[in-house]
Structure 1
């Protein structure tokens, strides 16, 4: 079921991006760096939490001023032999408050991601992700933002939630 969901989302996003290119949209690349708070609940054993510096590499295509498709790689946690990463695809909505896509803006994103957890062996989980952000576009091709994203995963009796707060630089071309 989850594989069908991922395939369906990928095909839908591919169709949207093809339409976008025909309409003359704009590509983007984004780098995010910040704090990742990870909560782990192991069935029958208890729970714990930790934080780490996390980062995201995102790219996609705005098919108009307010909507985009995105692909992302996220490094959510990497300490003491434990690693949590993800690859995802999603949709992003953005509302700019300045002329010519400059000035203050807010945005939101939602999608599906494949989360990989690696401690003594790796396991994967396909789950939705979502996030919000606010920032400032200095020009039509560059902006900075502060973003909050929520990621989750369920691995055979282990539930993981990762909340990230990142500073991002976005380049549009």
Structure 2
């Protein structure tokens, strides 16, 4: 139920942006003769989430896999999977092992400003549907899920026409409060 609600909400929020972007940038694309590009990316991340279970914090390293479509050099729509955190610890009193896990699916619009043709700055606005779970001695004991706002800023450096290095800071705000720092690469189509 939540997933269908999320998909509907995201569709309603992204569709006007795509139509608006096509209206604004259609002359630029026609003049250049170059259509948009699909891209895919992989990043390593460090998350800092405001949660813990029996002393096990929701802070750890992880990764994100993203794919998107660049309408032009200034506007893109991106979706991705985030492995936000996986962390464990042992209770000093009982000796039981506790684990926390969190992941999310995100959909965002990205605006990019090119500084010198190779370097760029970007801003991101979107949504993330996430799940978090705590286990005690291997048995799930607490689970949460939700959909929150995703905001971010980033910088990129184009290595060539297809490869780019990208670093980002993202903030997930709402039921899950988390800061995500990532560094990775993207590969664009021809």
Greater relative contact order: 1 or 2 (C-alpha under 8 angstroms, separation 6 or more)?
A: 1
In the TM superposition, 1:55-74 aligns within 5 A as 55-74=63-82
The alpha carbon displacement at 1:4 in A equals: 4.9
SS in 1 for 2:11: helix
Q: Between 2-11 and 65-74, report the one with greater CA deviation.
A: 2-11
Quote the Cα distance in structure 2 between the aligned partners of 1:113 and 1:7: 13
Q: Aligned in 2, Cα 1:79/1:147: closer, same or farther, shift over 3 Å?
A: same
Q: TM-score with structure 2 length normalisation?
A: 0.72
Q: How many residues align?
A: 160
Q: Aligned in 2, Cα 1:54/1:153: closer, same or farther, shift over 3 Å?
A: farther
Report what 1:97 is aligned to.
Answer: 115
Structure 1 residue runs of 4 or more that deviate by more than 4 Å after TM superposition: 2-6, 47-50
The alpha carbon displacement at 1:51 in A equals: 2.3
Flag structure 1 segments of 5+ consecutive residues without an equivalent.
Answer: 155-159
Report what 1:28 is aligned to.
Answer: 39
Q: TM-score with structure 1 length normalisation?
A: 0.79
Quote the Cα distance in structure 2 between the aligned partners of 1:33 and 1:5: 26
Quote the Cα distance in structure 1 between the aligned partners of 2:130 and 2:5: 16
Q: Deviations over 1:31-83 (max 9, x none)?
A: 110311121289xxxx9855211211111100111000111110111112211
In the TM superposition, 1:134-149 aligns within 5 A as 134-149=155-170
Report what 1:110 is aligned to.
Answer: 125
Quote the Cα distance in structure 2 between the aligned partners of 1:153 and 1:86: 14
